Amino acid sequence: MLPIPLSPHHPIPLVRPAPGLTRNLLLGPLIALLLALVAGIAPARAGDGSGTLLLRSEGGAPVEAPRLKADAAITVSGPTARATITQAFRNTTAEWVEGTYLFPLPEDAAVDTMKLVVGDRVIVAEIREREAARRAYEAAKAEGKAAALTEQQRPNLFTNAVANIGPGETVLVQIEYQQPVRSSAGTYALRLPTVAAPRYSPAPPSVRSVAEGVSADPVPDRDKIAAPVLDPARHAPVNPLTLTIDLKAGFPLGQVRSATHAIRVEELSEAERRITLADGATAADRDFELTWTAAPGEAPALGLFREQVVGGEAVLAVVTPPAAASPAAFVPRDVVFVIDNSGSMGGASMRQAKASLLIGLDRLRAGDRFNVIRFDDSFDTLFPDLVPADEIHLDRAKRFVASLEASGGTEMLAPLRAALRDTAPGETGRLRQIVFLTDGAIGNEAQIFSAIAAERGRSRLFMVGIGSAPNGYLMSHAAELGQGSFTQIGTPEQVTERMRALLMKLENPAVTDLTATFSEPGVDATPARLPDLYRGEPLTLPARMKQARGTLTLAGRIGGEPWQAVLSLDAAQAGTGIGKLWARAKIAEAETARLTGRLSPDAADAAILRLALDHGLTTRLTSLVAVDATPRRPEGARLVSTELPLNLPAGWDFASLFGEGEAQPLAPPPRQRRASAPAPQLAAVQSVALPQTATDFEIRAWLGGLLLALGLGLFLRRRAAA
């Protein structure tokens, strides 16, 4: 069982009133209390030195948040990885508690196992249709049984609910998943998200302009992707993480490193390493990334792997086409740079994004044309149309980028459409490319995907994920639909290296017209339509068949010249988890077909549900539920429910998101004034997606004013009576 830290949390100043109010010693405590009520946060009792974090429970009474600690154990086997994430929930109160926790996983993770451990009892979860799993969980909760429910909110965002945690008790939830190892230009990478970043959700149609023609809520599940967020300036990080990775590369290893965390690397053999965090348990406030390369002269060639599955075999081909034999002729480019300067980009993220864009501008060549779009709640296009990449225009663009500051919400749809808008769709002889720099902290991903699929035209979309915890699901899927690529920049040290690598891809021809042909009939491979590839990028092709035999022929064009490779399936190496990865890829393909209209919603859902139930995978339509057989909460004992708080991602600026604590909205300069200016929140812990519109603030402000007036009236009456 995982050790749980016993030291109490530091006290949290839940309310910080405006400076003018704090000087009134008589009204200060009353106003602080009223503001805390408006913010929806239960303040700690006066004189309570426990230092515990109190959040509002389901029944409205304050309850201490359960403590959480997590451990990740990952085994890398060649092209795949198997992970076990153990979350330990500790109830430090005298109440029976239900804890809910929002957590991230890799966007391509195939989640197939969950176990609930209560004392010496291990309850293995079942995969069920989502609503059936929810009903089973709610029934168990009402009956006083220990129960756990794992639901997918996004392919990279999940919730765990654990019911009937006894007073002083620790329970464990173990989640297992399979994921592919990514590679590019000879470097292999594994990423583990550790914190679910707050997300901005555009307002529902009831408060949007009718002229926009919005008929449905762009984020119908907005309440499911929000959680309490800690202000790092007022509270130490919570939810510590420990990590162990057993790396079995399948070839002699060269460099093994992490740009995001200090690690300890133990050499087990020339092809195996054990990696742990050098500092032990660490704050869950940034993605963990591990990269490795082959020893000099030991780089693997074509990768082909196989696994026995029910009803046949699964095969995974990982092939990197060679670079063009000779440099390609210069092709002029039209490049639209889009930069996110919303509040979530405050601090280090904004600096990284600006530095990345400036590098992109410097790489433009004579004959190229460009434009720059910035966005938050609103957006500005620097030039009316594409302009030549000459000294005058580049100098103006660099000054524009240097002046940007992070503030406001993340309305991504309008600037994306502006970037996709092609003013010369019939023009040939030029490449049209969009470089989109953002942390992707939004909840309306479906709108973005639909716009890309419908409006991309001849453009290629290259997503650049900025910061310590970007939305990998948005980034990778947008790049896939945009026939571009996804680059992540998590630290300042990575800006130059990774932007240079991205820009070299943009300047070099893609491997186009790719096809995959199996000699044997009855093969189900995904994706059905192969993407363009850029320099150093591999093709990853999972397939399922009765027997792995015959050949796989890959063909395409590199720099205008034909290319072909023939692989013998008989020579495939043994692999693990390939069947799960195939099923996960098929589910993702069905989701894409639904969003782009290639499959009706009913047909797509039927395909997804069948695959999920057959392979035991958690999806939008299925969940994992574990229920103990015996009731344990005494009859009549109340159950309080609370959400566990999350850390703010490292480098994010809390004030840029939620305000400094003043009791009025921040007023942006006239150029950036928005109808939907975000209202600052008054609490160190706030359960939100991201600030979205003035509507919610107006309601809270009205309620706050009413409560303040009542409080002031009581104060004056008592003073007059005295």
Residue 214: pLDDT band (50, 70, 90) is: low
pLDDT of residue 57: 52
pLDDT of residue 686: 47
Model pTM score: 0.84
DSSP state of 492: G
Q: In terms of Cα–Cα distance, which of 140, 41, 30 is closest to 658?
A: 41
pLDDT of residue 211: 52
Lowest model confidence (mean pLDDT) among 198-202, 224-228, 524-528, 654-658: 654-658
Dist CA 195 CA 197 (whole Å): 6
404, amino acid identity = L
Dist CA 139 CA 134 (whole Å): 9
Q: How large is the average pLDDT for residues 263-290?
A: 96
pLDDT of residue 58: 53
Q: How large is the average pLDDT for residues 616-640?
A: 96
pLDDT at 693 exceeding the cut of 90: no
pLDDT tens-digit series, residues 64-103 = 667 789 999 999 999 999 999 999 999 988 999 999 999 9
Dist CA 599 CA 596 (whole Å): 8
Dist CA 643 CA 650 (whole Å): 21
Selected residue with higher pLDDT from 234 and 690? 234
pLDDT tens-digit series, residues 317-335 = 998 887 765 556 778 999 9
pLDDT tens-digit series, residues 484-541 = 999 999 998 999 999 999 988 888 767 888 999 999 999 999 998 888 888 888 889 9
Residue 62: pLDDT band (50, 70, 90) is: low
pLDDT at 13 exceeding the cut of 70: no
pLDDT at 51 exceeding the cut of 70: no
pLDDT of residue 301: 61
Q: How large is the average pLDDT for residues 250-269?
A: 96
Selected residue with higher pLDDT from 55 and 134? 134
Q: How large is the average pLDDT for residues 541-563?
A: 91
pLDDT of residue 330: 78
pLDDT of residue 349: 93
Dist CA 702 CA 679 (whole Å): 13
Q: How large is the average pLDDT for residues 605-633?
A: 97
Q: What angle do CA 96, 102, 106 make, to 5 degrees?
A: 140
pLDDT of residue 4: 32
Dist CA 576 CA 306 (whole Å): 8
Average pLDDT, the chain: 83
Q: Is the dihedral of CA 214, 219, 221, 224 positive or negative?
A: negative
pLDDT at 288 exceeding the cut of 70: yes
Selected residue with higher pLDDT from 281 and 235? 281
Q: In terms of Cα–Cα distance, which of 85, 113, 81 is closest to 179?
A: 81
Judged by DSSP in three states, 541 sits in strand
Selected residue with higher pLDDT from 326 and 417? 417
261, amino acid identity = H
* C-alpha distance from residue 464 to each of 177, 386, 471, 479, 615 (Å): 26, 21, 11, 9, 33
Q: How large is the average pLDDT for residues 260-284?
A: 96
Percentage of residues in the chain having pLDDT higher than 90 = 65
pLDDT of residue 653: 86
Residue 29: pLDDT band (50, 70, 90) is: very low
Residue 50: pLDDT band (50, 70, 90) is: very low
pLDDT at 300 exceeding the cut of 80: no
Task: Tell me which range, 27-31, 338-342, 707-711, is most confidently predicted by mean pLDDT.
Answer: 338-342
* C-alpha distance from residue 380 to each of 97, 279, 337, 508, 575 (Å): 48, 44, 12, 30, 50
pLDDT tens-digit series, residues 121-133 = 999 999 999 999 9
* C-alpha distance from residue 165 to each of 98, 213, 260, 477 (Å): 6, 47, 34, 38
pLDDT at 40 exceeding the cut of 80: no
Dist CA 254 CA 246 (whole Å): 16
* C-alpha distance from residue 102 to each of 10, 42, 81, 323, 562 (Å): 22, 20, 23, 42, 48
